[in-house]
Amino acid sequence: MIKADCVVAACRELLTCGGPVPKRGPALGEVGLVENAWVAARGGRVVFVGTEAGFKRSVEVEDGAVRVDAGGLVGLPGFVDSHNHLPFAGTREREFSLRLRGWTYQRLAAEGMGIRSTVRETRRIGRQELAALCLRRLDEMLLTGTTTTEAKSGYGLNLDDEVKQLEAVREAAARHPMTVVPTFMGAHEVPDEFRERKEDYLDLLVHTVIPAVRDQGLARFFDVFCEEGVFSLEETERLVAAARAAGFGVKIHADEFIPLGGAELAARVGAVSADHLIASTEAGIRALAASDTVAALLPNVPFFLMQDKKPPARRLIEAGAAVALATDFNPGSSMTSNMQFVVQLGVFLLRMGIEEAVNAATANAAFALRLQDEVGSVEPGKRMDLVLYDIPSYPFLVYRLGANPVRHVIKNGAAVVRDGRLARPSL
Ligand code: NIG
Ligand code: FE
Q: Give me the domain span that covers residue 28.
A: 2-78+377-422
User: What is the domain count for the chain?
Assistant: 2
**Range 85-107 average pLDDT:** 95
Clarify whether residues 183 and 283 are in a common domain: yes
* Sheet-wide strand order for 323-325: 79-81, 146-152, 179-187, 221-226, 249-254, 273-276, 294-297, 323-325
Sign of CA dihedral 397, 400, 403, 405: negative
Question: Does the residue 266 lie in any domain?
Answer: yes
**Residues making up the chain, counted from first to last:** 427
**Range 368-388 average pLDDT:** 98
Residue nearest to atom 3 of ligand 1 (CA): 225
Give the confidence band of 284 by pLDDT, cuts at 50, 70, 90: very high
**pLDDT tens readout for residues 28-59:** 999 999 999 999 999 999 999 999 999 999 99
Clarify whether residues 87 and 213 are in a common domain: yes
Question: Does the residue 263 lie in any domain?
Answer: yes
pLDDT of residue 326: 99
For residue 276, the ligand 1 atom closest to its alpha carbon is 1
For the beta carbon of residue 31, count every other beta carbon within 10 angstroms.
26
Ligand 1: residue of 330, 334, 337 to mutate (most ligand atoms within 8 A of CB) is 330
CATH of the domain at 334: 3.20.20.140
pLDDT of residue 20: 98
Nearest one of 325, 402, 318 to 364, comparing CA atoms:
325
d(CA 52, CA 37): 7
Clarify whether residues 317 and 415 are in a common domain: no
Clarify whether residues 198 and 115 are in a common domain: yes
pLDDT exceeds cutoff 90 at 105: no
Residue nearest to atom 1 of ligand 1 (CA): 328
Question: Does the residue 372 lie in any domain?
Answer: no
d(CA 275, CA 41): 34
Ligand 1: centre distance to CA 327 (Å)? 11
Question: Does the residue 187 lie in any domain?
Answer: yes
Give the confidence band of 112 by pLDDT, cuts at 50, 70, 90: confident
Q: CB under 8 Å to 158, separation ≥6 — which residues? A: 123, 191, 204, 209
pTM (2 d.p.)? 0.98
* pLDDT > 70 in the chain, percent: 100
pLDDT exceeds cutoff 90 at 164: yes
CATH of the domain at 25: 2.30.40.10
Question: Does the residue 33 lie in any domain?
Answer: yes
Pocket of ligand 1 (CB under 6 A): 114-115, 118, 225, 253, 256, 301, 328, 330-333
**pLDDT tens readout for residues 188-201:** 999 999 999 999 99
pLDDT exceeds cutoff 90 at 106: no
Give the confidence band of 350 by pLDDT, cuts at 50, 70, 90: very high
Ligand 2: centre distance to CA 10 (Å)? 39
Phi and psi angles of residue 293, each rounded to the nearest 5 degrees, phi first: -80, 120
Ligand 1: centre distance to CA 337 (Å)? 14
Clarify whether residues 91 and 26 are in a common domain: no
For residue 83, the ligand 1 atom closest to its alpha carbon is 1
pLDDT exceeds cutoff 90 at 109: no
